[in-house]
Amino acid sequence: MSSKIKLGILGGGGDSLIGVLHRVASSMFDRFELVGGVFNANLDESISFAEDIGLATHRIYKDLDTLIKEELALPQEERMQVVSILTPNFLHFPMAKQLLENGFHVICEKPLTTTYREAKILEETLKTSKTVFAVTYTYTGYPMVRQMKEMIAAGEIGNVQKVDVQYYQGWINDIIHDKEKRNTTWRLDPEKSGISCCVADIGTHAFGMIEFVSGLEIKEVLADLNYLYKDNRMDIDGTILLRFSQYVKGVIRTSQIATGEENNFTVSIYGDKAGLKWEQENPNYLYLLEDGQPMRVLKPGHSYNSKLSLDGTKLPPGHPEGIFDSMGNIYKGVAKAINKQDYHPGEFPTMKDGIRGMNFIEKAVESHQNGNVWTKIDN
């Protein structure tokens, strides 16, 4: 029998956006073997999808209750060890909780839950289950993002004094300007998505990224969100001012109505010695900016990169690393944790990152609703 970690997937069916990213990423370093799951709410569709991807169908279940019951009945060495949750947001909490209570490791898509309260309950559940829990803030796995983190930690840009992160997309234009579509998509339905669309979907990536690369915690936010239509209940654009301390400040600019933008996620961190800038659509370049000096461009795979960055590079310099590689690195880190091997804490985002993300979403919406006022993030 294969000694690979046995993986199950919830959601991520043929009709989904994110499923393929997780399947490819999980297979990238030969550490996981996909054995089954619940790909869709409809069993026939799940089975048909499993057949499409050449997966045996005897471990495709009708729902999570059945998956847990049947898997726990298998001998330990055959059992699913880790389950990835790739469903719409409202299912993350009940599914993750049930999996943790039954001893499974969990890889959960962001946002972690639909409320901060649920996230705190999950934290307690994890304490007793003592399993591995990862939240897929996908972009933290890129080699040059890891390099940015390590350079800032080593003091190469000096003390951080300004942060500017932009996450612009335009895809919701198609939905938001059509009354019927904006009232039927799950992403704009608070029951399925939570209290926010844009801040929860991509603002939370920006928040997690800033704390990941800078090593700093955001203490307060002031948000100005846009809903565009009276009958739309969820933000689809926002500008959020950030305070780390009295003298360290920044901004998250995030939008799903930035017409023509695709996935323009740009992270700029300025210290008192130098600045670092990274762009998701050109992820192999990390720009080092210094007053009065020509800009330098760092690239993956070179020996000048940190150990953490190099661990996320598979081929020699000149072979571009993309989004699949970034998620692959996160899965690799999770595999090390499950196998009880040494790993760098930056190899995958954790429950704590997921909880802070949820707190950020609620505080940004609260700040906006209270008239754009400074609102504290919990410690």
Q: In this chain, which of 113, 129, 136, 254 binds ligand NAD, going by CB under 6 A?
A: 136
Q: Which of 113, 125, 138, 147 binds ligand NAD (CB under 6 A)?
A: 138
* Tokens matching residue 170: 């335009």
- Site pattern 31..50 for ligand NAD (x: CB under 6 A): -------x-xx---------
Measured CA to CA, the distance from residue 84 to residue 94 in angstroms comes to 13
| Longest alpha-carbon distance in the chain | 66
* Closest CB 275 distance from ligand NAD, rounded Å: 25
Q: How far is the CB of 304 from ligand NAD (least distance, A)?
A: 29
Decide if residue 125 touches ligand NAD (CB under 6 A). Answer: no
3-state secondary structure at position 153: helix
The vertex-46 CA angle with 40 and 48, nearest 5°, equals 145
Query: From edge to edge, which strands make up the β-sheet containing 32-38?
Result: 32-38, 5-11, 82-86, 105-108, 133-135
Which residue in the set 6, 105, 110, 149 belongs to the binding site for ligand NAD (CB under 6 A)?
A: 110
Please pick, from the candidates 4, 18, 24, 251, the single residue that binds ligand NAD as defined by CB under 6 A.
18
Annotate each residue in 57-96 with x if it binds ligand NAD (CB under 6 A) or - if it does not, as one string.
-----------------------------xxxx-x-----
Write down the least CB distance from residue 328 to ligand NAD, Å.
Answer: 13
Question: Is 16 one of the binding residues for ligand NAD (CB under 6 A)?
Answer: yes
Q: Residue 61 phi/psi, 5° resolution?
A: -110, 160
Q: Is 13 in the site for ligand NAD (CB under 6 A)?
A: yes
Binding flag, residue 11, ligand NAD (CB under 6 A) = yes
Interface with ligand NAD, residue 140, by CB under 6 A: no
Residues 195-234 that bind ligand NAD (CB under 6 A): 201
**Cβ of residue 108: shortest distance to ligand NAD, in angstroms?**
9
Is 62 or 219 the residue whose CB approaches ligand NAD more closely?
62
Angle between helix axes 323-338 and 143-153 (nearest 10 degrees) is 70
Interaction between residue 109 and ligand NAD (CB under 6 A): yes
List, in order, residues 6 or more apart from 358 with CB less than 8 Å away. Answer: 111, 112, 113, 115, 116, 118, 119
Q: State the Cα–Cα distance between residues 266 and 248, nearest whole angstrom.
A: 19
Smallest separation, CB 85 to ligand NAD (Å): 8
Is 256 one of the binding residues for ligand NAD (CB under 6 A)?
no
Q: Which residues of 82-103 are buried (b: 16+ CB within 10 A; e: fewer)?
A: bbbbbbbbbbbbebbbbbbebe
35 closest CA partner among 73, 58, 67, 8: 8
Which residue ranges make up the site for ligand NAD (CB under 6 A)?
Answer: 10-13, 15-18, 38, 40-41, 86-89, 91, 109-110, 136, 138, 201
